[in-house]
Amino acid sequence: MKSGELTEITSNAGETGEKNTSSRYKILLADDDGSFRTLASHALGRFEYDVLTVPDGLEAIKRTTSQHFDAILLDAKMPVIDGFEVCSKLQSKLGDHCPPIIISTGLEDDESVNRAFEVGAADYVHKPVNWTVLAGKLKYLLMPPSSQHQTNLLEKDIHRVISASTGAHLVLDREAVITAVNGVTALPHSATYSFKIGSCLFECVSRDSVSKILDGWQRLLKLGESGPVLLANHDDTNPYVLELNFVEFRANSILCLINDCTGHYLAEQRIFDLAFLDQTTGAGNREHLINWVNQNISALDVMENCAVLRGQIKNYFDHEIRLGRAGLDAIAVHVIDRLNQWCSEQNLQKYLGESTSGFVARLTEDEVAMGLVGNFNVSALEKFAQDLLNDLGRPLDLDANTILLDIELGLADSPHVGRNPAELLNAASLAMKVPNKAFSDQLFCFNESVREQIRLQANMERYLHRDIEQCQLHMAYQPKVDATSLKLVGIEALLRWNCKELGNVSPAVFIPLAEQCGLMSQLSQMVVQLVLDQLVAWRGTATGEIPVAINVSGSHLGTNNFVCDLARELNQRDIEPHLIELEVTESVMIDGQNRAIKNLQQLQEQGIKISVDDFGTGYSSFSYLRSLPVDALKIDRSFVQNIHVDPKALAIAKAIITVGQELSLVVIAEGVETITQLETLRDLGCHIIQGFFTGRPVMPEEVISEAESALFAAAS
């Protein structure tokens, strides 16, 4: 090569290599390819660069000692001394003053790219060179040092992060053509997408993902980054979720970071299942139902109704002995299946109109629910609920067992309750607890009368609480007389509540309420105190020698301290145990293992008498009487009052008396209102009579005179 050809200073203005006084940058280019040198000079000249070209590396090194350049472009492959060596020599020679060096390499020559960075090059370009890309890179490299420094750091950081990350990434050019890939083979189900160097990203993904990627891509071009783009396949066999993030990376390169979120997604799905689905039936749970209603009710359409049907399988657990846990699960699955059939689009349309949709949930083991949203009317809804209830009541065949489910439905709708699903659920449950007469005995609808009853009950609860605290309740006493002599042989203590606001409230009303709101044990203790104090007050009078019967609830009797508390109270007042009788209902007796029975046994051993109250209305299993601590049976007053009307009542009364005689139990008839009732009972062999005929419940001082007047009435 002639020396004249060694250097060519080129610029569009035809300037020479003298010190550049304009703001144009000076570039040194070393390449052994003459045509490339010419091309480069012209192309970069258009971008306002002055280019000095040299044909080899040694010349390039020489030039840098005499002249200042803003950047140097070195061909990787040159004879004698290649671009990499030149680069490293210049680095060590010029140190901090070395201008940024770009090395040009062959396409897809990844090894050269790595080497370029190793020897300290600031960047690289592929040959054939895209001049716009090169100009962009130069522009970046020649930025003022402060911003360049920052960008440099950033880029180094990015490099470090990427090489440290186990995640996958792609490098793309501005046409979305993939120029480098990393880690993509580790992505899940890569059969459904394939990222390959040289192909356009949009061709690598499924058709429905293209538009999502395009959106992200456009955001990237506008803002420099895309935000996350999700590629997902939710089918059960090949689920995957990839999160793609596009960021600008070096001039004209775009980095696509691929985050495999499949595991995360599956875990989330599992958490959702556990949090919102019933694991046995796959139906939604309470929260899911509430969310469903909230999501489906239109905020704009105020005419739209919603409703909740709540079903309780009353005999659900009764089937456990026969069918086991698996049987109970099968029942639940069956009920949910039926509800789902009733919730089908077609069926809802038929009953509740086109716009109605529904959702089935399992609330607890024995409780299910259906949420409904649509423009239905209340009477259509009630018809739907009644027909559903009838269907659920049909016998169910389960593994050769025929099962009848005893289901109650509570119904609450937005016209009565409002559109809050949690409140609808509550109202449906309250409707079952405070039944109203208007509906069948298994379908209960929430309406104004239920609301009124709830309000009354809430008030009553408040007053009862207050009056128990202040001991404002008192006892009435009803005589029990011998069926033949009509002499006073016992007294039953009956609780009375005269409420300031409500007047006299029947114990049949406030005692169940006290049970419901947890006041029963307190109330029961109060009764015991009042009665024992009364016995002390009667001491020395004729009444003082008569045994008094106290009604005790199962919940009080079943407490651990019942026996010793009563013994202590008796002791403190010096009262003989034979003066005390306890009246308990049959239901307390059925579970032979429970605490209440053990307590009764101990009480009986101490001399306290035990009567079974309301006998004949409960379980009436005569056989259990043999093994239980029982002294007396009280024939329920419903039999007594119908004894001349209903032959069945008479038969039951007879049977009870016979059983009592066989087991040597005292038999008491309660609710005796007429002399004919009394005579019939006496003739059947009943021992003791209690009722309005022989004496109403009265204040303590009147007990004796009541009994005497009964005696008088019977004699006359």
* Binding residues vs ligand C2E (CB under 6 A): 478, 494-495, 506-508, 511, 527, 551-553, 583, 613-614, 637, 670-673, 691-692, 697
Among 613, 632, 640, 706, binds Ca ion (CB under 5 A): 613
- C-alpha distances (whole Å) from 58 to each of 32, 91, 638 are 12, 14, 123
Helices (H), 7-144: 34-46, 57-66, 83-94, 110-118, 131-141
Shortest separation between residue 637's beta carbon and Ca ion, angstroms:
6
- Burial of residue 563 (CB within 10 Å: 0-12, 13-18, 19+) is buried
Task: State phi, psi for 16 to the nearest 5 degrees.
Answer: -95, -175
Structure tokens of 690? Answer: 């209690």
Please state, as a whole number, how many other Cβ atoms lie within 10 Å of the Cβ of residue 574: 9
Facing residues of 368 across strands? 311, 362
Which CB atom, from 90 or from 511, has the smaller least distance to ligand C2E? 511
DSSP letter for 251, please.
Answer: T
Which CB atom, from 616 or from 691, has the smaller least distance to ligand C2E? 691
Give the sheet arrangement for strand 407-413, strand by strand. Answer: 357-364, 367-374, 305-313, 407-413, 443-445
Q: With CB cut-offs between 5 and 8 Å by kind, which of ligand C2E, Ca ion, none does residue 691 bind?
A: ligand C2E
- C-alpha distances (whole Å) from 409 to each of 394, 442, 446 are 15, 6, 11
Residue bearing tokens 């980095």: 255
Shortest separation between residue 475's beta carbon and ligand C2E, angstroms:
7
Shortest separation between residue 512's beta carbon and ligand C2E, angstroms:
9
Q: With CB cut-offs between 5 and 8 Å by kind, which of ligand C2E, Ca ion, none does residue 527 bind?
A: ligand C2E
Shortest separation between residue 288's beta carbon and ligand C2E, angstroms:
42
Shortest separation between residue 373's beta carbon and ligand C2E, angstroms:
45
Among 583, 616, 632, 688, binds Ca ion (CB under 5 A): 583
Q: Which residue of the chain is nearest Ca ion when measured via CB?
A: 583
Shortest separation between residue 446's beta carbon and ligand C2E, angstroms:
29
| Stretch in the footprint of Ca ion (CB under 5 A) among 58-66, 147-155, 605-613, 688-696 | 605-613
Shortest separation between residue 462's beta carbon and ligand C2E, angstroms:
21
In the region spanning residues 550 to 579, those forming contacts with Ca ion, defined by CB under 5 A, are 551
Which CB atom, from 244 or from 686, has the smaller least distance to ligand C2E? 686
Please state, as a whole number, how many other Cβ atoms lie within 10 Å of the Cβ of residue 111: 9
Please state, as a whole number, how many other Cβ atoms lie within 10 Å of the Cβ of residue 106: 11
Shortest separation between residue 674's beta carbon and Ca ion, angstroms:
18
Residue 581 lies near Ca ion (rule: CB under 5 A): no
Q: With CB cut-offs between 5 and 8 Å by kind, which of ligand C2E, Ca ion, none does residue 278 bind?
A: none
Structural contact between residues 389 and 309, judged by C-beta atoms closer than 8 angstroms: no
Per-residue contact track with Ca ion, 514 to 553, x per CB under 5 A? -------------------------------------x--
Please state, as a whole number, how many other Cβ atoms lie within 10 Å of the Cβ of residue 1: 10
Q: With CB cut-offs between 5 and 8 Å by kind, which of Ca ion, ligand C2E, none does residue 188 bind?
A: none
Which CB atom, from 75 or from 583, has the smaller least distance to Ca ion? 583
Facing residues of 52 across strands? 9, 28
Amino acid at 663: L
Which CB atom, from 408 or from 614, has the smaller least distance to ligand C2E? 614
Q: Which residues bind Ca ion (CB under 5 A)?
A: 551, 583, 613-614
